[in-house]
Structures are given as C-alpha cells and as structure tokens.
Amino acid sequence: MLLVVGLGNPGERYKKNRHNIGWMAVDAVIAGHGFGPERRRFHGLASEGRLAGRRTTALKPTTSMNISGQAVAAAMRYYRLASRDVVVFHDEIDLIPGKIRVKQGGGNAGHRGLISIDAHIGENYRRVRLGIGHPGDKSRVIRHVLGDFAKVDLAWRDSLLEAIVEAAPMLATGDEAGFQNKVAMLAPPSKPDVS
C-alpha cells in the first residue's frame, strides 16, 4: 500500500493558491489514473486506486495546512504503513517555478505542513518538492504563497501536473530518481529571468 498526500488548505478561497499545488498534484493523479470517488476519511478526502499495480490511497488533508500531520498519521495507523510508504507533495519557495525535487527525510525549511507531519510520523517519509519560486523579498513570502497562480504561471503549472501524472507510477515502484528525471524531461522548468 502506498499513501500519496497532497498538502493544501481547504476551502474555495485557497483552491487556486500556490500553497495548494500539492493538492493540485494529487487531484491530477486521482483523475489521470482513474482512482475511485473521494470519501471523507482520516481528517481529509481520500480516494483509492492503483499505481504500477500497487494499491494506493490518495489523501488531501482537510485540516488546515498547519495540522496536516493529523490526517497523515490517521491514515498510516489505519493501513499500518511505514513512513517509507508515504509520499507527500508540497510547494517549495526555494525552487524556481516548475522545478521538482524528490527526497526522503531531511529538514522542513519552515514549511508548516511538513513540520506537522514530522511531529506526527517522524521525518523518514518521501517528499516531492514542487517549485513555486520565491518572491524575492522575505516580507512578500506569505502573500506570494497564499496568492493564486498568475495567468502567466498556468502553462508551466499545468505542464508540471501532467508530467506528474505520467511519471507517478515510478513513485509506487520506489524509483524516485526516475520519477524526478521523467517529470523534468516532460516539463522542464523555465529558466529564471536574469536580465
């Protein structure tokens, strides 16, 4: 069993926020791989399906981002999973828009969703960091993260989500490097403007 988690904040006002790109990724996987209907479970919305033949539950916590760990821990307990069986998609301001990085364990860089998950299940789960870019000034970070994607961002965002859907089965087989490389090949991030 694999647990794929998308981090975001619930509610219409947050639906298109950059902070919710984790939710968007999981929604894309659910739709792209024909998962079943979502049901309210584990303090979230859960949908079941298969990736590379492996039974998979996709979970979007409906707590606030800051207490996402409650939902992840509840699902882990129910399915009796190890942290290695958990993959968390989340936004990352320290990566340029559209860049992706996969890692197991490590720090949380102050991301409150990850801080909550770390507190509930430890740090040894897999993280898929989805670059949303940094606004350039620390004082603008919250507004940037909780702001909606601009129209100019939709092309790279949608391309990234499509690539995630195509490469997702590699996460089920434990091929994180292959997943990361395939996504980068299918949806290369645009070069930052240095002019």
The set of catalytic residues is: 19
Q: Which two tokens stand for residue 102?
A: 């996969």
Question: Is 40 buried (19+), middle (13-18) or exposed (0-12) by CB count in 10 A?
Answer: exposed
Query: What whole-number distance in Å separates Cα of residue 150 and Cα of residue 156?
Result: 11
Run of H or E including 59:
strand 54-61
From the list 125, 157, 159, 166, the residue with the least C-alpha distance to 20 is 157
From the list 164, 165, 191, the residue with the least C-alpha distance to 180 is 164
Phi-psi region of 136 (alpha: psi -120 to 50; beta: other; left: phi over 0): left
Phi-psi region of 52 (alpha: psi -120 to 50; beta: other; left: phi over 0): left
Q: Which two tokens stand for residue 191?
A: 């070069």
Query: What whole-number distance in Å separates Cα of residue 174 and Cα of residue 142?
Result: 34
